[in-house]
């Protein structure tokens, strides 16, 4: 998922903070290695200073972000939730989302709203975190180095062109789908003289009807139509109700 402008702003603020404090910091640090049962968790930002103090930061810019089931990484000596000013002003119950030792920073100024408490970090975890930071820094450095490599640039341009073709094809399909939906809604309203028809509501209705059919709720019940309630004419159970026209055939998956 593409990063929002607010997310990039907070990342830049953390990077600037590290430079001023002479810390080594990096975004999107993969924690641990696959061989140790880790390697599938990412800290939004991590730093280490000359005293070997490690800080981990989780960045959230909206309530949806905060409530996400994505795992939050609290591995450092000090850990902070970094939020946009807008999110902080909403005053969500922070204790539901972060541990009691985690602090809170808000806005581009990274104002500390709640001070982080130091937590114990084992020597094994400390080494693992520093190795994770070094590895991520290396891959980022390698990416920047490739940016000046003509062959790497040529390959990237080819990949970009391929992705552009895929995007153009997807956009055409999307546009055709939108036009089809608009046509269907417009002409259905005209043909059936109903101005409140929408494909979204129709789909929900069909889903509801499907559920009812699987539960055998749309079939004759004691000789009566479950929709209009009228008795079958002459006791003959037809496929369709002769009074309201409802389809009363038994569902066969």
Q: What is the pLDDT of residue 253?
A: 65
What pTM value is reported for the model? 0.57
φ/ψ bin of 28: left (φ > 0), alpha (ψ from -120 to 50), beta (otherwise): left
Q: What is the CA radius of gyration of the chain?
A: 29
Domains, in order of start, for the chain: 5-146 (3.40.1350), 198-253 (no CATH)
Q: What is the pLDDT of residue 171?
A: 75
Q: What is the pLDDT of residue 60?
A: 94
- Identify the segments of the chain with pLDDT beneath 50: none
Q: What is the pLDDT of residue 120?
A: 94
pLDDT in tens, 37-61: 565 788 999 999 989 999 999 999 9
Q: What is the pLDDT of residue 103?
A: 96
- Strands (DSSP E) contained in 7-132 are 24-31, 41-48, 54-60, 78-83, 103-106, 111-114
- Kindly report the CA angle at 32 between 30 and 33, in degrees rounded to 5? 105
Q: What is the pLDDT of residue 153?
A: 66
């Amino acid at each position: 998922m593409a990063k929002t402008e607010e997310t990039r702003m907070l990342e830049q603020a953390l990077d600037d903070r590290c430079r001023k404090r002479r810390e080594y910091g990096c975004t999107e640090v993969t924690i641990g290695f696959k061989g140790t049962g880790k390697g599938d968790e990412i800290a939004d930002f991590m730093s280490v200073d000359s005293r070997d103090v490690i800080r981990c930061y989780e960045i959230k810019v909206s309530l949806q972000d905060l409530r996400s089931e994505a795992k939050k990484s609290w591995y450092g000596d000090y850990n902070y939730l970094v939020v946009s000013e807008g999110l902080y002003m909403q005053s969500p119950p922070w204790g539901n989302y972060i541990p009691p030792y985690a602090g809170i920073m808000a806005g581009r100024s990274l104002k500390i709203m709640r001070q982080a408490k130091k937590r114990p970090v084992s020597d094994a975890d400390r080494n693992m975190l520093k190795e994770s930071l070094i590895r991520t820094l290396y891959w980022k450095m390698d990416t920047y180095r490739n940016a000046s490599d003509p062959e790497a640039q040529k390959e990237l341009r080819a990949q970009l062109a391929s992705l552009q073709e895929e995007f153009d094809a997807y956009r055409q399909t999307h546009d055709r789908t939108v036009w089809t939906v608009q046509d269907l809604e417009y002409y259905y309203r005209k043909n059936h003289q109903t101005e409140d028809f929408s494909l979204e509501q129709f789909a929900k209705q069909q889903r509801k009807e499907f559920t009812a059919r699987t539960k055998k709720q749309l079939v004759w019940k004691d000789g009566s139509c479950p929709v209009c309630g009228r008795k079958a004419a002459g006791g003959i159970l037809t496929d369709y109700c002769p009074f309201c026209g409802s389809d009363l055939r038994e569902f066969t998956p």
